[in-house]
Amino acid sequence: MKVCSECKAINSDEARFCCECGKPLPESQAGGKLPQKTILATPAIKIDERAVASPVQSTPQPSSPPQASAKKTIIGMPSVEASAISAKKPPASEPAPAVAAKAVKAKAPDEMIDIGKAKKAAQEAAGKTILGVSPISVDQISGGGTPAKSYKEEKPVFEPTIEAPVIAQQKTPSYAEGMAGIGGIQPQRQRSEASAEGMYVKGQIQMAPSARASLPGESTAPRPSRIGATTMLMVRKAAAIPRWLIIAIVLVVAAGTGLGFLIKKFVIEPRKPKVVKMLVKQNPNFQSVDIEIETINTKNVDTIMVGEQKFKIENQKSLLTLPIGPVHLGENIIEAKLFDKEGKEKGTLTLDFLLTKFWQPQTQTLEEANPVVGIYFQTMPDASLFIDGEPSPGEGPGKFLYRKKISELLSKSPPSEGNTWVVSFDYLLKRKGAKDDTGKVEIEIPTVRLEIEKPANGAIVTKDSVECTGKTELDAQVKINGTMVDVQNGRFATKIPLPEYRIYEIVVEAISAKRGPRIAKVKIERVKDMTELIKDYEKGVDKELGWEKLNQNPKQYTGKRVSMNGKIFNIQTEKGVTAFQMLVADGCPEGARCSVVVTYKGEMEAGEQSFVTVLGEVTGSETLETKAGSKFTAPKIEAKFVLAQEEQKKKKKKGR
């Protein structure tokens, strides 16, 4: 006999494959020992109240792996035709085999037939057994009529003790594969044990596939599973738990969950850093967004970090400037990290805000043939835009461009005195299902160039008129006190009458189609005589402060009033201020070249090489360069009065 090394099944010496698992058997097994107990493959016999076992010869072992065949019975014998089964008597050529009484012994047979199931089929087949032979009587099986003991009084004849390996986790092949013997894993068959109470599952072993038809009257319903029985047992045990205990457990779980929620809401959450106030607006550079925040629970926080950017936080307030790109139209949720002064992380802060628009001025259009000022808006796709009450034309979903000429905007804002002209626009942003967004946007437009050469602001004159000159753009128009004046190659000049002795304001306005309007204002005073003014000013002059003392340290005498006489050279006037150098005559050492720099905001008749008297304040020093290229430092004086010496002599005579 051959013993399978996989499932320990016993096979005949001629078998090449195991009849149970289909594994190839070795060619020879010399000295192999049979196991102490064989494996029962079918349930024990149960007939009425008596059960007997009938030994049956071992089934011939196949010489090849088990294969499906409609010609074989479950024990490997040729199948019996239905016509043979339906005959009342067996043919003479097939006598019923005799069964010796001595075949029944105390030890277990190799295989058993379920006679209890076969009996009913035999009776229905007119006394034929499944093999087509006459049925064996109970007396012949018991060997002399000795009654078999009831299963109620004794244990079953056979007690299989060998448990098959569990293969539940292995892949079960399809039925066709199992029948063809491929896949290496065979269908399972339950191993049972008989009792007076009925059949119950003892274990599982692997059985070689075999093809047979169901016996007449045999049930094809699946047997109850062990899992179902276990589940029912657990349900019964659970039903035994007292109801009050189940209610108590549910209440404890609910109380724990509620307590955790309350702790999180009223203890943990209030201590977390939070934003209580936020203001989001576009940065003037139009490339970023300014976010002003006010927080709580951030007293120990020194720095807020967003991405790679760091921002200081003071008194739980901070200003964050984030670039457009990471900040986008629509809903923005930004996580910021918090750090103390030592660099330790103190938690996070969530910035949650809705951004509905971006806008940007379009001033490059001023250089076009038809110069205009534009405002570009980018909004949500479903929005509509109104600027100064006018609907803005759209260039696509959520894209608007508003354009106006400079001349159409002059009434919106007065001309500027600086280099930029600021114009304000009211906008209204409408969206379906959302609150209207209103506000103002301001754009800065470069102004036209305008320079007033004279008169100087604050000048004091005695004449009844003054000349006003200056520079502007080639295409600009200039108005002086509301009167249009002629502009030639960007220069203008006109006389302003001063009929009365008072202070006058001269207003010069320049307008250009490509630039914003610009305005300049000059105030001058006409007096009848400056003698009294000069006398009052001379009272504060330091008469001991001459050029030689002043030249030693000009900064030391800043703000001191001085009076000096000398000759003018290198004179020039720019933006209403006349500047010149003067060679000082009084107090200058013999052979020395004593020079001072003088600035004067007023009208003067003196010119190059004129001798004048300068009354003014020391403002420091200025570095000058000679024609030869050498540099020197000279005291600097801001003159209040510049008097020609002839005029000064006349005034002295009048004073006498």
Based on the domain organization, do 168 and 54 belong to the same domain? yes
**3-class DSSP state for residue 637?**
strand
Distance CA 513, CA 614 (A): 45
Based on the domain organization, do 206 and 93 belong to the same domain? yes
Residue 332, classified by CB atoms within 10 Å of its CB into exposed (0-12), middle (13-18) or buried (19+), is middle
Are the C-beta atoms of 360 and 343 separated by less than 8 Å?
no
Residue 309 has pLDDT above 80, yes or no: yes
Based on the domain organization, do 311 and 390 belong to the same domain? no
Domain region containing 330: 272-355
Percentage of the chain beyond pLDDT 90 is 31
Residue written as tokens 């390996």? 165
Which runs of consecutive H residues, i.e. helices, occur in 276-389? none
Residue 218 has pLDDT above 90, yes or no: no
**Mean pLDDT value across residues 566-587:** 84
Q: What is the pLDDT of residue 193?
A: 38
Distance CA 375, CA 260 (A): 54
Based on the domain organization, do 616 and 514 belong to the same domain? no
Confidence of residue 649 (pLDDT cuts 50, 70, 90): very low
Are the C-beta atoms of 417 and 522 separated by less than 8 Å?
no
Question: Which residues are bridge partners to 444 per DSSP?
Answer: 422
Residue 551 has pLDDT above 50, yes or no: yes
Please list, in sequence order, all residues whose beta carbon lies within 8 angstroms of the beta carbon of residue 560, skipping any fewer than 6 positions away.
542, 545, 617, 618
Distance CA 520, CA 575 (A): 11
Q: What is the pLDDT of residue 501?
A: 92
Residue 377 lies in a domain: yes
Domain at 439, CATH number: 2.60.40
Q: Which of 60-64, 606-610, 636-640 bottoms out in mean pLDDT, i.e. has the lowest? A: 60-64
Based on the domain organization, do 349 and 369 belong to the same domain? no
Residue 246 lies in a domain: no
Are the C-beta atoms of 460 and 441 separated by less than 8 Å?
no
CB atoms within 10 A of CB 219: 8
Strands 631-644 and 595-600: parallel
Residue 47 has pLDDT above 60, yes or no: no
SS3 of 548-602:
HHHHHCHHHHCCCEEEEEEEEEEEEEECCEEEEEEEECCCCCCCCCCEEEEEECC
Based on the domain organization, do 29 and 126 belong to the same domain? yes
Residue 498 has pLDDT above 90, yes or no: yes
Q: Which two tokens stand for residue 576?
A: 């209403």
Task: Point out the domain boundary residue: 392, 425, 446.
Answer: 446
Q: Which of 215-219, 339-343, 418-422 bottoms out in mean pLDDT, i.e. has the lowest? A: 215-219
Please give the order of strands across the beta sheet that includes 420-431: 390-391, 383-387, 420-431, 437-446
Q: Which of 221-225, 358-362, 455-459, 556-560 bottoms out in mean pLDDT, i.e. has the lowest? A: 221-225
Q: What is the pLDDT of residue 189?
A: 40
Based on the domain organization, do 182 and 312 belong to the same domain? no
Count of structural domains, the chain: 5
Strands 383-387 and 330-339: unpaired
Residue 352 has pLDDT above 70, yes or no: yes
Distance CA 348, CA 201 (A): 62
Q: Which helix (H) or strand (E) holds 311?
A: strand 309-312
Residue 168 lies in a domain: yes
Distance CA 108, CA 34 (A): 13
Task: Point out the domain boundary residue: 394, 426, 446.
Answer: 446
Are the C-beta atoms of 295 and 316 separated by less than 8 Å?
yes
399-427 pLDDT, tens digit per residue, is: 999 999 998 999 889 999 999 999 999 99
Residue 249 lies in a domain: no
Based on the domain organization, do 11 and 103 belong to the same domain? yes
Based on the domain organization, do 392 and 285 belong to the same domain? no
Are the C-beta atoms of 206 and 21 separated by less than 8 Å?
yes
Nearest to 43 by CA among 160, 192, 155, 189: 192
Are the C-beta atoms of 516 and 415 separated by less than 8 Å?
yes
Please give the order of strands across the beta sheet that includes 483-485: 459-461, 518-526, 503-511, 477-480, 483-485
Residue 376 has pLDDT above 80, yes or no: yes
Residue 609 has pLDDT above 90, yes or no: no
Residue 336 has pLDDT above 90, yes or no: yes
Are the C-beta atoms of 338 and 273 separated by less than 8 Å?
yes
Distance CA 75, CA 190 (A): 17
Specify the DSSP class assigned to residue 12.
-
122-163 pLDDT, tens digit per residue, is: 555 545 545 555 555 544 444 444 444 443 444 444 444 444
Residue 258, classified by CB atoms within 10 Å of its CB into exposed (0-12), middle (13-18) or buried (19+), is exposed
Residue 69 has pLDDT above 70, yes or no: no
Residue written as tokens 């991405």? 307
Work out the end-to-end distance of the chain between its first and last CA atoms, rounded to an integer number of angstroms: 162
Number of DSSP helices (H) and strands (E) in the chain, helices first: 9, 32
Residue 259 lies in a domain: no
Domain at 556, CATH number: 2.40.50.140
Task: Point out the domain boundary residue: 336, 355, 374.
Answer: 355
426-469 pLDDT, tens digit per residue, is: 999 999 888 999 999 999 999 999 998 888 888 888 889 999 99
Most confident of 87-91, 215-219, 287-291: 287-291
Extract the runs of DSSP E, i.e. beta strands, from 372-502: 373-379, 383-387, 390-391, 394-396, 399-404, 420-431, 437-446, 450-454, 459-461, 465-472, 477-480, 483-485, 491-497
Please list, in sequence order, all residues whose beta carbon lies within 8 angstroms of the beta carbon of residue 47, skipping any fewer than 6 positions away.
115, 116, 119, 138
Radius of gyration of the chain (CA): 60
Nearest to 453 by CA among 467, 478, 465, 470: 470
**3-class DSSP state for residue 442?**
strand
Distance CA 323, CA 289 (A): 6
Residue 254 lies in a domain: no
Nearest to 55 by CA among 74, 72, 76, 38: 38
Are the C-beta atoms of 199 and 117 separated by less than 8 Å?
no
Based on the domain organization, do 336 and 363 belong to the same domain? no
Domain at 488, CATH number: 2.60.40.10
Residue 239 lies in a domain: no
Residue 91 has pLDDT above 50, yes or no: no
Nearest to 635 by CA among 649, 648, 651, 619: 619
Based on the domain organization, do 612 and 552 belong to the same domain? yes
Q: Which helix (H) or strand (E) holds 633?
A: strand 631-644
Distance CA 150, CA 632 (A): 141
Are the C-beta atoms of 53 and 109 separated by less than 8 Å?
yes
Q: What is the pLDDT of residue 67?
A: 45
- Cis amide leading into 455 (omega within 30): yes
Question: Long-range contacts: 498-506, Cβ < 8 Å, 24+?
Answer: 498/461, 498/463, 498/464, 498/465, 498/466, 498/524, 498/526, 499/464, 500/526, 501/526, 501/527, 501/528, 502/526, 506/455, 506/466, 506/468, 506/480, 506/481
Based on the domain organization, do 463 and 351 belong to the same domain? no
Write down the mean pLDDT value for the chain: 73
Residue 234 lies in a domain: no
Residue 135, classified by CB atoms within 10 Å of its CB into exposed (0-12), middle (13-18) or buried (19+), is middle
Distance CA 149, CA 208 (A): 33
